[in-house]
């Protein structure tokens, strides 16, 4: 290796180089900028309903769509608020970042955030329940279900154990556009 030594004589260049070196000593501002970028692109994924690599999220199951319709909700959105009078998403709105001088971390404090990002299974144990039915006109339980307040007959039932599968719908991660944007952010941050 051949050592080379230089001296900057022009004050403006020396000052600019000193500013760059100080920013390199504490890159937390850069990581905060990256955090803002990744939060924004993650929120875009909720609107676009796709993973960072562009893969579309698995569509809703017919049973989920029917349950949402029965609840008076818009059944077509995935991982977004679909109740009347509400907008946005509790999950998308909960995303935040923590920037340090070494890294940026992105995530959500919501307990169900990880299962939507990575997918998984929820095991529901066997449990007891009740079904409510209307009267058939002859004093016997009819075939129609009724609200609890309107039921003429209550039947105790055992609901068997079952597993609910939640598909992975990644919303946090680096897309190609994010990588390019982070490089631009680095250039901008170093040239401030």
pLDDT tens profile 133-180: 888 777 777 777 888 888 888 889 999 999 999 999 999 988 888 888
> Of residues 118 and 65, which shows the higher confidence score?
118
pLDDT tens profile 5-21: 444 455 655 566 566 66
pLDDT number for residue 23: 67
How many Å apart are CA 42 and CA 106, to the nearest integer? 10
The b-or-e profile of 10-40 (16+ CB within 10 A means b, else e) is: eeeeeeeeeeeeebeeebeebbbbbbebbbe
- Residue 122: its H or E element: strand 120-124
29 backbone dihedrals φ, ψ, rounded to 5°:
-60, -40
The b-or-e profile of 103-136 (16+ CB within 10 A means b, else e) is: ebebebeeeebebbbeeeeeeeeeeeeeebbbee
Q: Is the separation of the CB atoms in 38 and 178 below 8 Å?
A: yes
pLDDT number for residue 81: 63
β-strand 162-166 against 96-99: which pairing, if any?
A: unpaired
pLDDT tens profile 61-78: 898 888 888 887 776 778
40 backbone dihedrals φ, ψ, rounded to 5°:
-60, -45
- Strand ranges in 119-184 using DSSP code E only, listed in sequence order: 120-124, 127-135, 141-145, 153-159, 162-166
> Of residues 185 and 74, which shows the higher confidence score?
185
Q: pTM for this structure?
A: 0.71
pLDDT number for residue 77: 79
> Of residues 60 and 190, which shows the higher confidence score?
60
**Angle of helix 176-190 versus helix 11-25 axis, rounded to 10:** 130
């Amino acid at each position: 290796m051949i050592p080379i030594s230089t001296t900057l004589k022009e004050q403006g260049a020396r000052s600019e180089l000193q500013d760059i070196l100080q920013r390199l000593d504490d890159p937390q501002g850069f990581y905060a900028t990256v955090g803002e970028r990744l939060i924004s692109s993650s929120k875009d994924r909720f609107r676009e309903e796709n993973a960072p690599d562009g893969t579309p999220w698995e569509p809703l199951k017919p049973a989920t769509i029917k349950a949402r319709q029965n609840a008076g909700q818009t059944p077509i959105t995935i991982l977004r608020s679909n109740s009347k009078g509400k907008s946005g998403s509790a999950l998308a709105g909960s995303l935040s970042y923590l920037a340090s001088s070494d890294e940026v971390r992105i995530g959500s404090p919501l307990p169900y955030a990880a299962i939507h990002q990575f997918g998984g299974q929820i095991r529901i144990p066997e449990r007891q329940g009740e079904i409510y039915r209307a009267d058939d006109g002859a004093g016997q339980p009819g075939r129609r279900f009724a609200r609890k307040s309107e039921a003429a007959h209550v039947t105790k039932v055992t609901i068997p154990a079952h597993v609910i599968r939640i598909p992975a719908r990644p919303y946090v991660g680096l897309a190609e556009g994010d990588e390019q944007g982070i490089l631009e952010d680095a250039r901008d941050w170093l040239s401030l």
